A and B are shown apart, each in its own frame.
Chain A
Amino acid sequence: MADKRLSATQAVAQLESGMTLGIGGWGPRRKPMALVREILRSPLQDLTVVAYGGADVGMLCAAGKVKKLVFAFVSLDFIPLEPYFRAARQAGSIEVMEIDEGLFMLGLKAAGMRVPYIPTRVGLGTDVLKRNPQLELVGSPYDQRDWVAMPALPLDAALLHVDRADARGVCQVKGPDLYMDDLFARAAKKTFVSCDELVESSHFSQGDEARYVYWERAQTTGVVHIPCGAHPSSCAPLYGFDVKHFKEYAASAKEEGGWAAYYERYIAGGEQQYLERVGGEQAVRKLPLPVF
């Protein structure tokens, strides 16, 4: 029986420069940040990143890891503009494929369904078409109209964070929103999932626990047990996002050498040191859930 447990280093070692990487979560919510930090410590480069972006995208841009970004937005929500993503865009240092949030979803869906595109009206009449000349229109065989043919967005690998998982890759999300994590898992050749809690397989047989499992374990390649692995993003209901930390991160972008200082303080020393420097597991678990 498969045992998919591995370390973050082992997971990132299975990635290669030039790959197309999907990153789950949404803005400042349930991002696989510990895996992202592991990429920041690695020699990987020239990545095509596909994400509903937050600090994951900002940090990868700041570290010069991103060749191309496929996105609909990059935002920390309560800090609307992601500073390092902005800086990268304004410097012209990354290629982009900027699309609608729903087109993005259709692209992942198409990849998971193994079809080349999904027709939609979304994008018609907008500069999404002008700025992405690779997006084609198709005539429908059933009416006399043109539709946007949203191409599949196949991923070499997806990185996700979940509440809990077992060694075989059964993953559980109890937060109020799955975001598009299931679609990322289906669109990717390999999916690496970090989890706050590693549980016995029998966990899912209790009560309605199995109702919170949204993709089959066959879609999970590797499981990395990293408590607080979504920090500073949220992993509701376990912890909210770290407002103070995000403010410090965003403020660093205003300083000369700010990214290098942030990297040195929080990333260079490894994950154990990271958790200590952000206050420890107990403190993270007490971060309040956001009120909207």
Chain B
Amino acid sequence: MADISLIDRIICTAARAWINDGEVLATGIGVVPRLAASVCMASLNRDLMMTDSEAWIVREPVPIGPRSGPLGDYQVQRESHMGFARIFDNVWGGKRHAMVGPTQVDRFGQANISMVGSDYARPKSMMLGVRGFPGNSINHANSFFVPNHSPKVFVAGEVDMVASVGYNPARLARGWSLDETVDIRLIVTNLCVMDFGGADHAVRLRLLHPGVSVEQVLQATGFPVEVGAGVGTTPDPSADELALLARLDPHNLRGSVMAS
């Protein structure tokens, strides 16, 4: 199917992040992660829970975009209240898997959305702050979506502000193990899919999107990536998945995620 867009392929492969999670809260921050979680909940893992991205758990994923055209009559199908305070109750209990979009990621999977620059007192670029990354990362599973795979994102050293915990033994507190504090599943990018299944949790290449070479990924990553024998090609989405995507994003917001 040559006419499958890269973004649809990425979303449908990212959707597999939650496939074996059972009954957890799936949170996708941003258009692609949210659509990926939505596709998963609507087809691959019907036990997932999602919110309306405001304050309610819903029994079906909420389509994205303005409530006009095909969404003119859409009614959010609420299941329970889920304000921010209750989100933290859920986070701290661990039954959640979030897919987020960090600004920087390092070889340990430590991620940053706070600030960029070497001087914390005067950041070169101030961004959001650490938000919920510290708590998310030490309490539940996380995956990353990176639309612009480059050494600026996948940095050579440690990220400028470690907002989320990674597989870095040097940062373990007394009495804790990496298995208890870190659970990073997938990194989905515009080039490939990676995980932390290499030696000592090294980043490992799993899937290449059609037309992308191993060399391209290595060039675009600031740290070494393990390349084993089992690197595959990101599969085509099924016709059902594409139909689902069209229903979940009828205004095609996903079409402008990767403008370049």
Q: Which residues of A contact B (CB under 8 A)?
A: 26, 71-75, 80-81, 85-86, 89-92, 98-103, 105, 120-128, 130-131, 137, 139, 143-147, 176-180, 290-292
Which residue of chain A has the shortest Cβ distance to B51 in the bound complex? Answer: A292
* Residue pair A100, B132 in contact (C-beta under 8 Å): yes
Contact with A along B144-172 (1 / 0, CB 8 A): 00000000000000000111111010011
Closest to A87 in B: B126
**In the complex, what's the smallest C-beta–C-beta distance from A144 to chain B, in angstroms?**
5
Interface residues on B, range: 35 or more
List 22 contacting pairs A-B, 8 Å CB cutoff, sorted by A.
A85-B126, A89-B115, A89-B123, A90-B123, A90-B125, A98-B114, A98-B130, A100-B130, A101-B84, A103-B134, A105-B85, A120-B92, A122-B135, A124-B134, A124-B138, A124-B171, A125-B181, A126-B137, A127-B163, A131-B120, A145-B174, A291-B67
Interface residues of B in 69-94 (CB under 8 A from A): 81, 83-85, 88, 91-92
Cβ A137 vs Cβ B173 within 8 A: yes
Q: Are A128 and B134 within 8 A (Cβ)?
A: yes
Q: Which residues of B contact A (CB under 8 A)?
A: 52-56, 62, 65-67, 81, 83-85, 88, 91-92, 114-115, 119-135, 137-139, 161-166, 168, 171-176, 181-182
Tell whether, in the assembled complex, residue B176 and residue A178 are in contact, meaning their CB atoms are under 8 Å apart.
Answer: no
Known: A90-B124, A178-B83, A179-B84. A127 touches B138 (CB 8 A): no
B138:A125 contact, CB within 8 angstroms = yes
Chain A residues in 8 Å Cβ range of B88: 101-102, 105
A125 contacts B128, CB within 8 Å?
Answer: no
* Interfacial chain B residues near A102, Cβ < 8 Å: 88, 91-92, 132, 134-135
CB <8 Å contact, B84 and A177: yes
Q: Which residues of B contact A71 (CB under 8 A)?
A: 129
Known: A121-B139, A180-B84. A101 touches B163 (CB 8 A): no
Lowest 3 CB-CB distances: which A-B pairs, in order? A145-B175, A176-B55, A92-B122
Cβ contact within 8 Å between A99 and B122? no
A81-B128, A85-B126 given; A122·B134 CB < 8 A: yes
Contact among B83, B124, B129, B162 with A179 in the assembled complex (CB-CB below 8 Å): B83
Q: Which residues of B contact A130 (CB under 8 A)?
A: 162
**What is the CA–CA distance of A137 and B173 in the complex, to the nearest angstrom?**
9
**Structural contact, A176 and B168, CB atoms closer than 8 A:** no
Q: Which residues of A contact B173 (CB under 8 A)?
A: 124-125, 137, 145-147
Given contact pairs A71-B129, A126-B134, A127-B162, enumerate 6 new A-B contacts (beta carbons under 8 Å): A73-B129, A90-B125, A102-B134, A121-B138, A130-B162, A144-B175
Shortest distance in angstroms between B148's beta carbon and chain A's nearest beta carbon?
16
Which partner residue on chain A sits nearest B128 by CB separation? Answer: A73
Write the nearest CB–CB distance from A277 to chain B, whole angstroms.
28
Q: Please tell me if the beta carbons of B165 and A100 are within 8 angstroms of each other in the complex.
A: no
Kindly report which residue of chain A lies nearest to residue B92, judged by CB atoms.
A102
Contacts of A292 in B (CB 8 A): 52-54, 62
